[in-house]
Amino acid sequence: MKLTLMSLLYTTPAFRPIARQITPFLFFRMTLCSVTIASYFWPHAKKLLRPFRGVVGENLAAKELRVRSRRYLLFLRLFKELELTWSSWEKRTHWPLIEGETYLKNAMADHKGVVLLSCHNFGFSKLVAPSLSRRGYQVLRGGSGKKDGRRVKRWGKDCEIAWKYLDQRGDYWHRLRTLKIIKSALGQNHIVHISPRAYDRGEEEMAVVFFKRKYYLDSRWFRLFQLCGAPVLPCFAIGNSDGEIKIVIQAPLLGDAKAMAKQFAEIQGDYLIKYPELGRLWKSVYLNRSQW
């Protein structure tokens, strides 16, 4: 992580007592201030915004685009810095707000486990597993990072015990072991949180449509969920410019694997259009614009 004022505040032992006094509200206001200043004077901000404006700009009015651009910079900053604050806010079990927890509780009552499905490279998905574990749920988070590396340790020792990080990378046999671990976690009525990757090519039914662009979900995930028989709930961690972050859990997807994939693709496309500033995919989309 680059050295910023916030990282200095949260990682320097002498400043930690001060950092602990900063509430989420104050933290977001401070970050928003620094991002607003940076958007005017920091040359790198323009470079960061170019892909975002290039993709999203065509569809928004100039004033709206300015607001969204600032939110996009805010999101990028928060995405990096929220991990630093996590251990300071451990007593704030109500933060972030979870909307739709009833769906989760109802789904868990069937004792088949629950799959929470998020959009890859979108929103504050990495907050989902630690937030749920703080509320007493057992969570397995799938991702492509180091299983027991620094990224997990930053969330605190208690969180590490309550939720596990699952590395999805590797060869065929590693993937197969991973799927087996997911299956057995669901068998123990745990929550499995996954943000499936999307690809440039795929089946038309799996297409996620956004801003004249498409990418395709991997049907294997949905076949796995069908095989496991666990309810699949879309879950998005979104934030607004006031720094309110909430985890939205939606009603279970219905039907077979293809029907579930189609529903999730539509929901995902809607989120990308409604909250483009929470996407981290614009750079790759922008660089491939010749293929549009």
CB of residue 219 to other proteins, shortest distance in Å? 9
Residue 60 or 179: which CB sits closer to other proteins? 179
3-state secondary structure of 238: strand
**Smallest distance, Å, CB 206 to other proteins?**
14
Amino acid at 243: G
- Does position 220 interact with other proteins (CB under 8 A)? The reply is yes
Question: Which of 25, 23, 19, 22 is CA-nearest to residue 7?
Answer: 19
Q: Which residues touch 149 (CB under 8 Å, ≥6 apart)?
A: none
Residue number with CB closer to other proteins (41 or 173): 173
String of contacts with other proteins for each residue 179-218, x by CB under 8 A:
xxx-x-----------------------------------
Per-residue CA distances from 25 to 31, 32, 34 (Å)? 10, 11, 14
Nearer to other proteins, 224 or 278 (CB): 224
- Span between the terminal Cα atoms of the chain, in Å: 33
Distance of closest approach, residue 125 Cβ to other proteins, in angstroms: 23
Separation of CA 282 from chain center: 15
> C-alpha distances in angstroms, 190 versus 5, 128, 180?
38, 14, 14
Q: Which stretch binds other proteins (CB under 8 A): 58-66, 71-79, 193-201, 222-230?
A: 222-230
Q: Which of 6, 35, 56, 224 binds other proteins (CB under 8 A)?
A: 224
Residues 157-176: x where in contact with other proteins by CB under 8 A, - otherwise, as a string: ---------------xx-xx
H or E segment and range at residue 259: helix 257-274
Q: How far is CA 93 from the centre of its chain?
A: 19
CB of 170 to other proteins, least distance (A): 11
Position among 46, 66, 177, 289 found at the interface with other proteins (CB under 8 A): 177
> Cβ 266 to other proteins, closest distance in Å?
23
Q: How far apart are the C-alpha atoms of 94 and 140, rounded to whole Å?
A: 21
Rounded least distance, CB 186 to other proteins, Å: 12
Q: How far is the CB of 27 from other proteins (least distance, A)?
A: 40
> In whole angstroms, how close is the CB of 204 to other proteins at the nearest point?
19
| DSSP 8-state symbol, 86 | H
DSSP per residue, 146-198 = -TTSHHHHTT-HHHHHHEEEEE--S-HHHHHHHHHHHHHHHHTT-EEEE---E
Interface with other proteins (CB under 8 A), residue total 13
Among 154, 223, 280, 283, binds other proteins (CB under 8 A): 223
Exposed/middle/buried for residue 99 (C-beta within 10 Å: 0-12, 13-18, 19+) = middle
**Which C-beta is closer to other proteins: that of 29 or that of 223?**
223
Binding site for other proteins (CB under 8 A): 172-173, 175-177, 179-181, 183, 220, 223-224, 227
